[in-house]
């Protein structure tokens, strides 16, 4: 009897059996090893290797509850969404996502290319490594996956079918709660660094003007089916090496505002900047690295703008989208959402249940307090001033201004 005819959460030994019996990838007599390598909040990720043959792959299994907390009941259908999204993104942005070998609807698992020759971008940035091609790669990925899945390019009926195909209510609810709602009141599930509590209450929770803007952004997220977004495009969802960038984990994907993805990338590079600024020793090496991070943020925004306009002219099919001034209007709306989402991400990763190691690993208490206050100050400014964010320099100017306010004595 085939044990994989009905769902159960696999162990490492189960995964070895699965790889041998259900996949046509390894030799029948291969001696496989398996290790669970997942460190995310939702899924179980296994690396299976035949060292003798030099072959390996990744098996990612989705369970009925999130690993971060059993409070989050999440549909395993997210694995189907991830597999289909990766295949689509592979067509739209070749070479920028891992190849998918198989999706198994019974075991709720996805089998894909092993990226062990790459490293997670967040980890690499915390080791203060630099990747000169990253801005070029990630801007191409975002333009191709966001514009080419929008009404600007797609047949409108086909696009509406995609909206239906990739509806993702469980994962959207997590985003709506953790990103848009809980950081902006004294939610019991928040994880506020104790020295910040009074500052956060006064600066965020008691500011009715700010709360109004977060409500506007939340409803934008819930109602604007603009593009097929990745939905969780942070530096922990990107593998890199010197000449390669691979985007992973699109299980939060659905049709939402395009700026959500761009804003997440920007905010997470700011976390990397704050980590480096807090822990690196003063000197030329630190200055070079900080300058590279700011340049990368500027370049991502500016390259995204340039490439989107070029792709619009080449691939745009909607007649009215070619009316004079409309492409600029459309891009301006994306940049507003980019800034707003960058602000939300800076706040929620600082105050909410899902922090980032860039900040939480800062061991010096005063340095961490300073970094977290900068996150809050920048986050609020991005939200409140999002209509003024027009280019990459506008974003990095906010970082520089926050640094001046909280400069070291």
Q: DSSP characters for 326-340?
A: HHHHHHHHHHHHHHH
Q: How many C-beta atoms lie closer than 10 Å to residue 385's C-beta?
A: 16
Query: What CA–CA distance (Å, rounded) separates 338 from 348?
Result: 15
> What pLDDT does residue 409 have?
39
Q: How far is CA 388 from the centre of its chain?
A: 24
Q: Which two tokens stand for residue 306?
A: 């340039």
> What pLDDT does residue 43 have?
84
Q: Which two tokens stand for residue 121?
A: 């971008």
Nearest to 332 by CA among 297, 298, 308: 308
pTM here?
Answer: 0.92
Q: Which two tokens stand for residue 290?
A: 């900080």
Q: Which two tokens stand for residue 332?
A: 């301006």
- Angle between helices 284-315 and 392-405 in degrees, nearest 10: 150
> What pLDDT does residue 407 have?
66
Listed in sequence order, the DSSP H helices in 150-283 are 156-165, 169-178, 197-200, 208-223, 259-279
Distances (CA, A) of 392 to 290, 331, 338, 356, 358: 15, 13, 11, 23, 22
Q: Which long-range contacts (CB under 8 A, 24 or more apart) does 197-202 make?
A: 199/373, 199/376, 200/351, 200/376
What Rg, from alpha-carbon coordinates, does the chain have? 21
Nearest to 360 by CA among 350, 370, 373, 352: 350
Mean pLDDT in order along the chain per 10 residues (409 residues): 87 96 93 87 88 95 66 71 93 97 94 96 98 98 98 98 94 96 97 95 97 98 98 97 96 96 98 98 97 98 98 97 97 98 98 96 96 97 98 98 72
Q: How many C-beta atoms lie closer than 10 Å to residue 357's C-beta?
A: 15
> What pLDDT does residue 360 have?
97
Q: What angle do CA 314, 320, 326 make, to 5 degrees?
A: 75
């Amino acid at each position: 009897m085939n044990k994989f005819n009905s769902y159960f959460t696999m162990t490492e030994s189960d995964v070895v059996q699965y790889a041998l019996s259900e996949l046509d990838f390894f030799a029948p007599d291969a001696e496989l090893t398996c290790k669970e390598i997942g460190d995310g909040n939702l899924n179980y990720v296994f690396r299976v290797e035949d060292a003798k043959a030099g072959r390996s792959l990744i098996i990612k299994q989705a369970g009925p509850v999130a690993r971060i907390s059993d409070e989050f009941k999440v549909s395993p259908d997210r694995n189907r969404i991830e597999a289909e999204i990766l295949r689509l993104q592979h067509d739209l942005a070749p070479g920028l996502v891992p190849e998918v070998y198989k999706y198994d609807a019974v075991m709720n698992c996805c089998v894909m290319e092993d990226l062990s020759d790459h490293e997670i971008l967040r980890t690499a940035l915390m080791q203060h490594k630099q990747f000169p091609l990253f801005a070029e790669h990630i801007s191409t990925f975002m333009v191709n996956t966001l514009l080419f899945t929008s009404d600007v390019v797609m047949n409108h009926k086909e696009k509406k079918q995609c909206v239906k195909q990739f509806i993702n209510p469980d994962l959207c609810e997590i985003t709506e709660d953790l990103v848009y709602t809980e950081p902006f009141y004294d939610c019991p599930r928040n994880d506020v660094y104790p020295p910040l509590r009074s500052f956060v209450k006064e600066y965020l929770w008691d500011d009715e003007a700010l709360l109004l803007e977060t409500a506007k952004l939340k409803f934008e997220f819930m109602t604007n089916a603009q593009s097929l977004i990745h939905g969780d495009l942070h530096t922990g969802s990107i593998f890199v090496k010197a000449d390669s960038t691979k985007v992973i984990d699109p299980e939060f994907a659905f049709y939402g505002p395009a700026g959500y993805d761009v804003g997440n990338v920007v905010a997470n590079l700011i976390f990397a900047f704050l980590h480096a600024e807090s822990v690196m020793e003063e000197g030329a090496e630190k200055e070079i690295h900080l300058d590279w991070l700011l340049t990368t943020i500027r370049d991502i925004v500016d390259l995204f703008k340039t490439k989107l306009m070029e792709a619009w002219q080449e691939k745009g099919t909607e007649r009215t989208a070619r009316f004079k001034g409309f492409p600029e209007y459309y891009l301006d709306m994306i940049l507003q959402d980019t800034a707003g989402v960058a602000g939300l991400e800076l706040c929620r990763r600082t105050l909410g249940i899902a922090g980032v190691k860039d900040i939480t690993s800062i061991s010096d208490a005063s340095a961490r307090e300073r970094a977290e206050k900068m996150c809050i100050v920048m986050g609020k400014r991005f939200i409140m001033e999002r209509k003024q964010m027009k280019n990459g320099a506008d974003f990095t100017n906010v970082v520089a201004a926050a640094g001046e306010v909280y400069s070291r004595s």
